[in-house]
Amino acid sequence: MRVLQLIDSLHPGGAERVAVNIANALATKINASYLCATREEGLLKASISEAVGYLFLNKTKTLDFKAIRKLNDFINHNNIDIIHAHSTSFFLAVLLKLANKRLKIVWHDHYGDSEFLEKRPFKILKTCSAYFSQIFSVNRALASWAKEHLKCKEVMYVQNFAIQETSKAITKLKGTPGKQIIHLANLRAQKDHMTLLEAFKTVHTQYPNWSLHCVGKDFGDAYASAIHHKIKDLALENHVFVYGSLPRYFSGFKSRHYWRFAFKIRRATHRFIRIWVSRYACSGKRCWRLQTGY
C-alpha cells in the first residue's frame, strides 16, 4: 500500500496537523507514505518525518494544469495507489483519478462549521463524491451529513489523534512562567476570541500576574483587527499577547511544574478539543475539558 496525503497548505491548523500525523504514522506501517502540499507550505513542514516522501506543488489556481501534471507524474513515478484527500483538496484528487482509474480516493472531512451544516455548499462535492472509495468524518454530525447528502456511502467517524514529538523548545513566551494561559486557534470569527478576552479580563482582576497567549494565524482581516482593538479597549496590552503562527514547541513546555491550558470558547468545533487535550496529555500536562456550550 502506497498512500499520499493531499492537503492545501502546511500552515498550523487542525486538518493540516492531522494530514501530517497520518503521513508520519503510516511511514512505518505501509510500503510507502507521502504528503503533498498543493498551494502553500508552512510551519508544519518541519514536523514531517524523513521517512515520508514530500512534494510541494505551488498550485496557483483551481485548474493549474502544470501543477496537475507534476502531481500526476509524482504519483506514477512512486506507484501511489491511494490518495487521502483532506478538506477541499478532494477536487484535485478527483481530477487525478480521471487520469488514473486505478487510484482510490479517501476523503477526510474536516469541515469547521459542523453546527451549521444546513448552510454548507456542496454541489461540487456531491458530484465528486461519486469517485470516493471512503469518507472519514472528524465528528458524528459530519458523518451523518455525508451519509445523507453524498454519493459515497462508505462513511466512517474517525477521531483525530496526536503523536508525541521530541523536538526541542524553540519559542519563548512572554509573561511569568507558570502563570501563562495558551489559546491555540487561528484568528477566525468561529473561534470567538472576543468572549475569551472578556473572560480573561474577569480573571485578570483577581489574578493580575497571569497572562494570556493567543497563538494562531493572523489573516490581517477585519476580525484580526477587531481582536487587537478589543485588547486595547480592555487595557490588556501588557497581559494579552498575540503571536501569529508559531512552532508547536514553547520554552518551558517540558517542565513538570509548567502548566499549560487551552480554552475553546463557544462556537469552536468539538474535534479540536479532543486533539488538543491529546497533545497536552502526550506532553505530560494536566488537562481539563469543560462540557460547556454544546
**Contact criterion met (CB below 8 Å) for 270 and 143:** no
In the chain (294 residues long), the average pLDDT of successive 10-residue segments reads: 97 90 96 97 93 96 94 97 97 96 96 83 96 96 95 92 61 84 85 91 93 89 95 96 74 39 43 54 58 44
* 2-157 placed in CATH 3.40.50.1110: no
Compute the distance between CA of residue 175 and CA of residue 43 in angstroms, rounded to an integer: 24
| pLDDT for position 165 | 62
Domains of the chain: which residue ranges?
2-157, 180-282
108 backbone dihedrals φ, ψ, rounded to 5°: -110, 115
| pLDDT for position 282 | 60
Q: Do domains 2-157 and 180-282 have the same CATH topology?
A: yes
**Contact criterion met (CB below 8 Å) for 245 and 42:** yes
| pLDDT for position 280 | 57
What count of residues does the chain have?
A: 294
| pLDDT for position 192 | 87
Compute the distance between CA of residue 162 and CA of residue 275 in angstroms, rounded to an integer: 6
- Residue range 32-61, pLDDT digits in tens: 999 999 999 998 999 999 999 999 999 999
| pLDDT for position 227 | 96
Compute the distance between CA of residue 68 and CA of residue 95 in angstroms, rounded to an integer: 8
| pLDDT for position 114 | 74
User: Which residue type is seen at 124?
Assistant: I
**Looking at the domain that runs over 180-282, which CATH code has it been given?**
3.40.50.2000
Q: Which of 255, 258, 256, 253 is nearest to 279 (CA)?
A: 253
**Contact criterion met (CB below 8 Å) for 252 and 48:** no
Which three three-digit cell numbers place residue 117? 451544516
- Residue range 259-291, pLDDT digits in tens: 344 444 444 544 445 555 555 556 555 555 555
DSSP symbols for 248-275 = S-BTTTT-TT--------TT--HHHHHH
115 backbone dihedrals φ, ψ, rounded to 5°: -85, -10
